[in-house]
């Protein structure tokens, strides 16, 4: 991505960039490799560093020499690691055997006001995890589009990455921690985003509400279609 901070990043260019990153880890066999990916993440202490090193290598190969762009790249690496970490946390839902824990996990991911039918679909439909990852991919892609196009704004990382961070913090990490006997209290949404703007809070609420609307698969497909 040989762009200066003032040049817009095209969606097709970002798609190509992300595909190269994801193929490094998914080996184009997502359904089979997700479990391996999750296992590696959990057991290899160096995995986060590997993700960052790969992102750094790609960035350096496309470095424009623009100081603002280099500053943005620091936060891009952080966002990339956040994405992969949250993606693995979604996959942990498959490892929760208790029906009650599965339902709690689904509520933490998609909100507490799920209808009974949506809750059943979220915890039993084999397409759920795949579609959840697709939805997360689209949200992440939208954040990166804004990131590369508006990253020169003051306090950009704090404002824009707040959405991804919030998804992570109110995600199933709490459920997993509880299952492992660790203390894990969910923070109030406003507390999580207290440093963010009102627009950011509104954006998070709108995204969260949209994803709560049943049926899951159709809405994920619509979200992905609109994000391409």
**In this predicted model, which residue has the larger pLDDT, 134 or 35?**
134
Per-residue model confidence (pLDDT) at position 117: 78
On the question of pLDDT at 103 being above 60, the answer is: yes
Asked if 17 and 1 touch (Cβ cutoff 8 Å), the reply is yes
Please report, to the nearest 10 degrees, the dihedral formed by the alpha carbons of residues 194, 156, 77, 24 taken in order. Answer: 100
Residue 30 CA to residue 186 CA, distance in Å, equals: 30
Q: Where do the structural domains in the chain lie, given as residue ranges?
A: 11-227
Average pLDDT over residues 11-24: 51
Question: What does the pLDDT read at residue 40?
Answer: 42
State residue 83's pLDDT score: 55
Answer yes or no: are the C-beta atoms of 217 and 125 closer than 8 Å. yes
The whole-angstrom separation of Cα 142 and Cα 148 is 10
Write down the pLDDT at residue 118: 74
pLDDT-based confidence at residue 148 (cuts at 50, 70, 90): low
Q: What is the pTM of this model?
A: 0.34
In this structure, the number of other CB atoms found within 10 A of the CB of residue 59 comes to: 18
């Amino acid at each position: 991505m040989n762009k200066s901070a003032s040049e817009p990043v095209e969606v097709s260019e970002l798609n190509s960039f992300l595909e190269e990153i994801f193929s490094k880890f998914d080996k184009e066999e997502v359904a089979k490799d997700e479990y391996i990916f999750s296992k590696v993440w959990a057991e290899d202490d160096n995995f986060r560093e590997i993700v960052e090193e790969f992102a750094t290598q790609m960035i350096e190969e496309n470095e424009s020499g623009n100081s603002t762009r280099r500053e943005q790249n620091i936060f891009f690496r952080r966002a990339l690691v956040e994405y992969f970490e949250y993606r693995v946390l979604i996959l942990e839902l498959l490892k929760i055997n208790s029906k009650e824990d599965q339902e709690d996990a689904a509520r933490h991911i998609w909100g507490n006001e799920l209808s009974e039918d949506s809750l059943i679909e979220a915890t039993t439909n084999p397409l759920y995890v795949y579609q959840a990852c697709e939805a997360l991919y689209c949200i992440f892609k939208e954040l990166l589009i804004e990131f590369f196009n508006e990253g020169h704004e003051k306090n950009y990382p704090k404002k824009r990455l707040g959405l991804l961070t919030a998804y992570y913090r109110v995600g199933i990490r709490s459920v997993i921690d509880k299952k492992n006997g660790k203390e894990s209290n969910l923070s109030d949404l406003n507390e999580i985003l207290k440093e963010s703007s009102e627009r950011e809070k509104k954006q998070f609420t709108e995204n969260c509400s949209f994803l709560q609307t049943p049926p899951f698969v159709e809405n994920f497909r619509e979200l992905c279609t609109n994000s391409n």
